[in-house]
Amino acid sequence: MYHQIVAAPPKGAAFRSLCVSPRAFGRQMAWLRCLGYRGLSMSALMPYLKGERTGKVVGITFDDGYLNNLQHALPVLRHHGYSSTCYVVSQQLGKTNEWDCEGGVVQTPLMDASHLRQWLAGGQEVGAHTRHHVRLTQADLPSAREEISLCKAELEDLTNSPVQHFCYPYGDYLAEHVAVVQSVGFESATTTQRSRCQANEHLMQLPRVPVLRTTSLPLLWLKLATAYEDRRRP
Ligand SMILES: [Zn+2]
């Protein structure tokens, strides 16, 4: 689970830890390759999650749809022949991460429709992250349903390709939201629950492994190759 691929904002800035520098990201992808892993989008990962195929693979996801993913991550991903999924907020395209305003987070440009098409043309995938980056548990159920289903429809319209993977904003959801995500036809949904995916994982509540600004290469190895992250599961 990545967010921004950009040089870190000044010390003390909110969510600074979610900014992985382009150089660090490049080293991390090269490191994955050295270790024999292939980096995959959620669609490409599905056969492994379902137990239909085995292999040394990692899913690569980016939350929120930052333009810096296209600028700094895409060239690296292409270089290694990796795919990834970027979860975007359909009503914020071409704007900034305004949902973070209250937290005093530096506003960062998000991809617009033409950027998303470049992302797809580069062999990457677009996933859904609601229309307005809402906290689903604080919305009434009809609005939550709209946020989930219209995001899918709007993105499919814009990109002319299926949008089959969802990510819960803030990792915040209840059982009824899982049911909605499943009923509108998503094939997977990711959370902020920390762990590697195990066999028979619930496909609509997949855990992830966070990669932060401070994640060193040895720590990345611990996170992927050992039970380091799995132990953080409640
Ligand atoms: Zn988000």
The predicted-structure confidence for 203-232, as pLDDT tens digits, reads as follows: 999 999 999 999 999 999 999 999 999 988
Residue 232 has a pLDDT of: 81
Distance 182 CA to ligand 1 centre (A): 19
Tokens read off for 48: 């492994």
Distance 72 CA to ligand 1 centre (A): 19
Residue 74 has a pLDDT of: 98
Pairing assessment for the beta strands 206-208 and 188-194 based on DSSP bridges: parallel
Percent of the chain with pLDDT over 90: 90
This prediction's pTM? 0.97
Distance 168 CA to ligand 1 centre (A): 8
Distance 167 CA to ligand 1 centre (A): 8
* Distance set, CA 19 to CA 40, 63, 78 (Å): 21, 12, 20
Confidence of residue 234 (pLDDT cuts 50, 70, 90): confident
Residue 107 has a pLDDT of: 87
Phi, psi of 90 (to 5 degrees): -65, -30
Phi, psi of 16 (to 5 degrees): -55, -30
Tokens read off for 222: 């611990």
Q: Which residues surround ligand 1, an ion (CB under 5 A)?
A: 63-64, 169
Asked if residue 11 has pLDDT above 90, the reply is no
What residue type is assigned to position 40 of the chain? Answer: L
The predicted-structure confidence for 36-47, as pLDDT tens digits, reads as follows: 999 999 999 999
* Contact partners, residue 179, CB within 8 Å, separation at least 6: none
Per-chain mean pLDDT for the chain: 96
Residue 103 has a pLDDT of: 65
Binning the chain into helix, strand and coil, the percentages to the nearest 5 are 45, 15, 40
What residue type is assigned to position 119 of the chain? Answer: W
Beta strand residue intervals within 65-184, DSSP E: 85-88, 125-128, 165-167
**Distance, CA of 177 to CA of 145 (rounded, Å):** 8
